[in-house]
Structure 1
Amino acid sequence: YSRGSMCLISLRNGAAISVRGRFEALAFHIPSALFIELAEEAGEPRIDDLITCRGIDDQVVRNIGAALIPMFDMPDEVRDTLLPHIGLALSAHLTHRYGRSPIQHLSGTGQLSPLQEKRIKAYIAANLSGGTPVDKIAEACGFSVDELCSGFLSTTGQSVSEWIASYRMSRAQSQLSRTGETIARIAAECGFPDESEFVATFTRAEGVPPAAWRLRNRH
């Protein structure tokens, strides 16, 4: 695995690792009950597992790891004060980006419940840079692809792809107006295939390229 990458492995059925050569890592054991507790306290849809992945480059987890390293040299009382807050931030991030909901079913009206809709939109927002294919959204949120698509359209009046396109543009505008990120970086973070596609899509929607729009709307 590349330096700074992350793996998520479920221990429900056991797990093993074989290490050959020099290996340095931060390891976290997070009880599944913690995710249930976090969801209940925040009024979020339930998460009962995380998606298994290996060698993922996650900038948020990398930054949290970098913040943890110096704590090994801190006095115990300082470290013990900071660790719960960092642990909460890590758990919340993992829940939103990699959480897997139990099997879901639509109501008798064929619409999503408010919590189901919230979970789907939160997952899309947390994974926007990855392109968010519909089958992955459905898998993470506990739906079949057909139920997800029909329920989302019935509830929001938009297809999943239409909502993603609208949210992607809204996120890009926010990034342009509030940050100094490059156009290429914003394109990647908002899930566009490349900078050229982002510029073309943005220009069609807004009538001006992203750089010109930024000059007019910078906060």
Structure 2
Amino acid sequence: EAGEPRVDDLATCRGIDDQVIRNIGGALMPMFDMPDEVRDQLLPHIGLALNAHLAHRYGRSPAQRLSASGRLSPMQEKRIKTYTAANLSANMTVDQIADATGFSVDELRSGFLNTTGQSVAEWMSAYRMTRAQAQLSRTGDTIAQVAATCGFADEDTFIDAFSKTVGVAPAEWRARNRH
């Protein structure tokens, strides 16, 4: 009805904190105490807002699949990166990311690589390091806590990876870069 492409599928995006859904849910709560005639006037509008948001944010139409060049749309790229960043400590596989964001594994791998120039694993490693550096410079968290938050198997794995990537151990990097 709004002139948007037809949606034939909704992506399942577990683990994403969707503020719009939260706000719509908050708007529904007071409606239980309203008179029926008032509620009946508001409910279709809130339902339309919910459906429009779901279709726009999570809907997939033939036009929203990977482009002919095999690239992700900006919205698709953001969906994947947001989900992965929100679940970084879960140490997910590409299969799990693909399932949660509504792509086949091949579609995710090729689309992500064609769009970003990195594999999903390469992007996750770089993002982990960026997040670890931010956490080290801004918090007093222990090295083990940083490792866990950033999705490393354990403290030793984190120290080895950080030292190889950055050139110094996390504790030494923190001492030089503490804000």
TM bracket (short chain): 0.5 to 0.7
**Deviation at 1:205?**
1.1
Q: Structure 1 residues 110 and 48, CA, compared in 2 at 3 Å: closer, same or farther?
A: closer
Cα deviation, 1:67-108, whole Å, max 9, x if unaligned, reads xxxxxxxxxxxxxxxxxxxxxxxxxxxxxxxxx945562112
**Deviation at 1:51?**
4.1
> In the alignment, which residue of structure 2 is the partner of 1:185?
145
Q: Does residue 210 of structure 1 match 2:145?
A: no
Q: Structure 1 residues 51 and 120, CA, compared in 2 at 3 Å: closer, same or farther?
A: closer
> In the alignment, which residue of structure 2 is the partner of 1:124?
84
> In the alignment, which residue of structure 2 is the partner of 1:107?
67
SS of structure 2 residue aligned to 1:180: coil
SS of structure 2 residue aligned to 1:119: helix
TM-score, length-normalised on structure 2?
0.66
Q: Structure 1 residues 108 and 50, CA, compared in 2 at 3 Å: closer, same or farther?
A: closer
Amino acid at match of 1:176: L
Amino acid at match of 1:137: I
User: Could you say which structure has the higher helix fraction?
Assistant: 2
SS of structure 2 residue aligned to 1:143: coil
Q: Does residue 153 of structure 1 match 2:142?
A: no
Q: Distance in 2 between matches of 1:51 and 1:216?
A: 38
Q: Distance in 1 between matches of 2:59 and 2:157?
A: 36
- Do the aligned residues in 2 keep the contact of 1:102 with 1:141 (CA within 8 Å)? no
Cα deviation, 1:161-196, whole Å, max 9, x if unaligned, reads 000000000000000001110100000000000000
Aligned length: 127
Q: Distance in 2 between matches of 1:122 and 1:146?
A: 19
Runs of at least 5 residues in structure 1 that lack an aligned partner in the other structure: 1-45, 53-99
Runs of at least 5 residues in structure 2 that lack an aligned partner in the other structure: 1-8, 16-56
> In the alignment, which residue of structure 2 is the partner of 1:90?
none
**Deviation at 1:109?**
1.7
TM-score, length-normalised on structure 1?
0.54
Larger radius of gyration: 2
> In the alignment, which residue of structure 2 is the partner of 1:199?
159
**Deviation at 1:206?**
1.5
Cα deviation, 1:24-77, whole Å, max 9, x if unaligned, reads xxxxxxxxxxxxxxxxxxxxxx9765649xxxxxxxxxxxxxxxxxxxxxxxxx
> In the alignment, which residue of structure 1 is the partner of 2:122?
162
Q: Distance in 2 between matches of 1:115 and 1:194?
A: 33
- Do the aligned residues in 2 keep the contact of 1:105 with 1:143 (CA within 8 Å)? no
The alignment-based identity, stated in percent, is 61
Please give the residue correspondences for 1:124-143 in structure 2 after superposition, counting only pairs within 5 Å.
124-143=84-103
**Deviation at 1:160?**
0.5
What is the Cα-based RMSD across aligned positions, in Å? Answer: 2.2
